[in-house]
């Protein structure tokens, strides 16, 4: 089965500084990988996804992630944090079992942006 | 507007009562999912359905039941057998590709269930 590990449960940055949210995955085949964002008491919104095309994936709101197979990583970055980026972020890998495909979620990283 | 709706937003239940959470989508998606979210644990899959009149257990199905009588609707019942039902419940849907990479899931706004 596939799994995903988010290396930091909390990350705190200052407004205008870079953001790095780390994610490592394990997969026995070429996976689909996703980053979702969740604001308090809201549903999840897709930021970006990797599906074996370009290894550098650009998403919404200036976020991007790079798929590194050799490091089994899919870290999320943004050059300059904005106050509205404060939220919880989930790294997600697809898992193929018994002919159906499901998503496996990391435990989340809470991003705080300080003024 | 296309999307997923969940109702109610907040729900309170007394111990020993069953309660049903609603999930409706107008995205014409075949697959629908129910997740439970607890602080610090990410999302855990309760049940999923890939087609009308068919559904499968996820990782934490005990104490829950679902039905899929219509493509647009996938209600979740939290039964009295669920020992710790207080949580945030999220419904999602996706289109199922016949080949190629997996498609993303679209999420509803969630229902917060509190057992008193």
> If you count residue pairs, one on A and one on B, with CB atoms under 8 Å apart, how many are there?
53
Asked whether residue B48 carries a pLDDT value surpassing 70, the answer given is yes
pLDDT above 70 coverage of chain A, percent:
97
Q: Which of A46, A52, A108 sits opposite B104 (nearest CB)?
A: A46
Cα separation, B113 vs A40, in Å, equals 15
For B95-109, what is the mean pLDDT?
Answer: 78
Chain B residue numbers touching A42 (CB-CB < 8 A): 109-110
Residue A89, beta-bridge partner list:
A37, A109
CB A89 within 8 A of CB A34: no
Q: Residue B1 — pLDDT band, cuts 50, 70, 90?
A: low
Query: Which one of A6, A43, A92 makes the best mutation probe of the B interface by having the most chain B beta carbons within 10 Å?
Result: A43
The mean of the pLDDT values for chain B is 91
8 Å CB contact between A115 and A13: no
DSSP state of B103: P
pLDDT bin (cut points 50, 70, 90) of residue A84 is very high
Which residues of chain A does B42 touch, with a Cβ-Cβ cutoff of 8 Å? 90, 105-108
Q: What is the DSSP letter of B14?
A: -
Which residue does chain A place closest to B4, by CA atoms? A43
Q: Residue B96: what pLDDT?
A: 73
Answer yes or no: is pLDDT of A1 > 80: no
Choice between A103 and A19, residue whose per-residue pLDDT is larger? A19
How much is the mean pLDDT over chain A? 91
Between β-strands A33-38 and A44-50, what pairing exists: parallel, antiparallel or unpaired?
antiparallel
Of B45, B101, B104, the CB nearest to A102: B45
**Residue whose C-alpha is closest to residue A25's, from A96, A97, A73, A77:** A73
List the single range of A33-47, B69-83, B85-99 with lowest mean pLDDT.
B85-99
Residues of A in contact with B48 (CB under 8 A): 100, 102
Chain A contact present for B89, CB below 8 A: no
pLDDT at B2 over 90: no
pLDDT of residue A15: 97
- State whether residue A108 is helix, strand or coil: coil
Per-residue confidence (pLDDT) for residue B97, from 0 to 100: 65
Say what the pLDDT of residue A57 is. 94
* Beta-strand relationship, B43-51 and B19-25: unpaired
**Above 90 in pLDDT, residue A101?**
no
- Angle CA A88–B27–B54, to nearest 5: 95
pLDDT score, position B57 = 94
Task: Tell whether B45 is within 8 A of chain A (Cβ).
Answer: yes
Q: Are A8 and A109 in contact (CB under 8 A)?
A: yes
């Amino acid at each position: 089965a596939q799994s995903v590990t988010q290396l930091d449960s909390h990350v705190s940055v200052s407004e205008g500084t870079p953001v790095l949210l780390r994610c490592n995955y394990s997969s026995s085949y070429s996976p689909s990988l996703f980053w979702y964002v969740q604001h308090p008491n809201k549903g999840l919104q897709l930021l970006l996804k990797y599906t074996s095309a370009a290894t550098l994936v650009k998403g919404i709101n200036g976020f991007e992630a790079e798929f590194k197979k050799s490091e089994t990583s899919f870290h999320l970055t943004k050059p300059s944090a904005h106050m509205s980026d404060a939220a919880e972020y989930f790294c997600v890998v697809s898992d193929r079992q018994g002919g159906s495909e499901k998503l496996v979620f990391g435990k989340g990283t809470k991003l705080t942006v300080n003024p | 507007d296309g999307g997923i709706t969940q109702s109610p937003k907040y729900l309170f239940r007394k111990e020993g009562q069953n309660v049903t959470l609603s999930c409706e989508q107008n995205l014409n998606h075949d697959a629908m999912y129910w997740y439970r979210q607890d602080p610090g644990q990410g999302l855990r899959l309760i049940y999923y359905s890939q087609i009308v009149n068919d559904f499968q257990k996820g990782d934490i199905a005990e104490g829950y039941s679902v039905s899929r009588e219509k493509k647009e609707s996938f209600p979740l019942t939290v039964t009295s057998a669920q020992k710790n039902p207080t949580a945030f419940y999220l419904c999602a849907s996706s289109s199922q590709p016949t080949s190629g990479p997996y498609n993303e899931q679209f999420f509803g706004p969630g229902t917060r269930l509190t057992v008193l």
